[in-house]
């Protein structure tokens, strides 16, 4: 009978398995990237940690149980990313999963933002994602499959005061994801995660501002900031065969922020 689980496209007990898969994680030395690297490893993936912070990357790699690798690369430099991808394939023979995570933010009213500040945020948050996805996509298209996950943000959906450049860049990531999903279908899937505020190094310092913290916390229906590891479930889902019929999707892991106005 077709409805019996033994006849499913993917066995239920194997849907989330990443055994033997090769995962390329940019920004894996800290924050969300670190949590995702640890999570992918726990489900059986070989993780390649790609970051400008080599010492931090090695600290993460030391916690992994599967064979892994650390590669230094600046995601805004195409040559760095290209070499990191080449090294990954030379070492592990494939590139099955890619997470494009690095991001920076400059919180200022739009009239106070300089062009240099604007370009610096867009360069990392949007251009860097494009460069990484392009190089990853070349390999995945050639090998006939793969899953790319780009890191967007709830700010890319909802925007916000003094968040013009960050929100614009993250909205760009969302639409880049959709475009690549269409271009690279049917075999290479491209999706995005859109977290709310998480307790990462990017926001830890500004959390000391109690007025800002209380106002921002209350954007979330759950009335709290998330922990980096609370993104890992959605990350593993998009990386694994549990999401084989998903591409071009944006999953908001945002404590209910984008569900409405509070």
Is 100 in a helix, a strand, or coil? Answer: strand
Annotate 171-211 with DSSP letters as a single string.
Answer: HHHHHHHHHHHHHHTTTEEEEEEEE--BSSHHHHTGGG-HH
| Whether 166 is catalytic | yes
DSSP bridge pairs for 97:
23, 147
Say if residue 217 is exposed, middle or buried (CB neighbours under 10 Å; 0-12, 13-18, 19+): middle
Active-site annotation holder among 24, 92, 166, 237 = 166
Backbone angles phi, psi at 106, to 5 degrees: -125, 110
What are the residues whose beta carbons fall under 8 Å from the beta carbon of 119, sequence distance 6 or more? Answer: none
| 22-26 and 46-51 beta bridge pairing | parallel
Q: Is-cis flag, bond preceding 16, omega within 30?
A: no
- Cα gap 32→143, rounded to integer Å: 28
Asked if 147 contacts 191 with a C-beta cutoff of 8 angstroms, the reply is yes
Active-site residue list: 166
């Amino acid at each position: 009978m077709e409805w019996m689980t033994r006849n499913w496209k993917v066995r239920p007990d194997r849907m989330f398995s990443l055994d033997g898969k090769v995962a390329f994680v940019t920004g894996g030395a800290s924050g969300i990237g670190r949590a995702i690297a640890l999570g992918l490893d726990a489900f059986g993936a070989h993780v390649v940690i790609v970051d400008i912070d080599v010492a931090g990357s090695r600290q993460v790699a030391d916690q992994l149980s599967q064979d892994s690798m650390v590669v230094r690369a600046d995601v805004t430099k195409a040559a760095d990313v290209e070499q990191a991808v080449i090294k990954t394939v030379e070492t592990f023979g494939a590139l099955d999963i890619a997470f494009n995570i690095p991001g920076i933010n400059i919180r200022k009213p739009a009239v106070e933002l300089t062009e240099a500040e604007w370009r610096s945020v867009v360069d990392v948050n949007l251009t860097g994602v494009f460069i990484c996805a392009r190089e990853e996509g070349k390999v995945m298209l050639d090998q006939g499959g793969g899953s790319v996950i780009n890191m967007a943000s709830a700010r890319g959906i909802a925007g916000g005061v003094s968040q013009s450049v960050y929100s614009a860049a993250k909205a760009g990531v969302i639409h880049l994801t959709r475009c690549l999903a269409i271009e690279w279908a049917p075999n290479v899937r491209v999706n995005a995660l859109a977290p709310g505020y998480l307790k990462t190094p990017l926001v830890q310092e500004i959390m000391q501002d109690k007025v800002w913290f209380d106002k921002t916390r209350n954007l979330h229906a759950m009335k709290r900031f998330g922990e980096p590891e609370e993104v890992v479930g959605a990350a593993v889902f998009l990386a694994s065969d549990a999401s084989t019929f998903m591409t071009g999707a944006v999953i908001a892991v945002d404590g209910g922020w984008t569900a409405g106005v509070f």
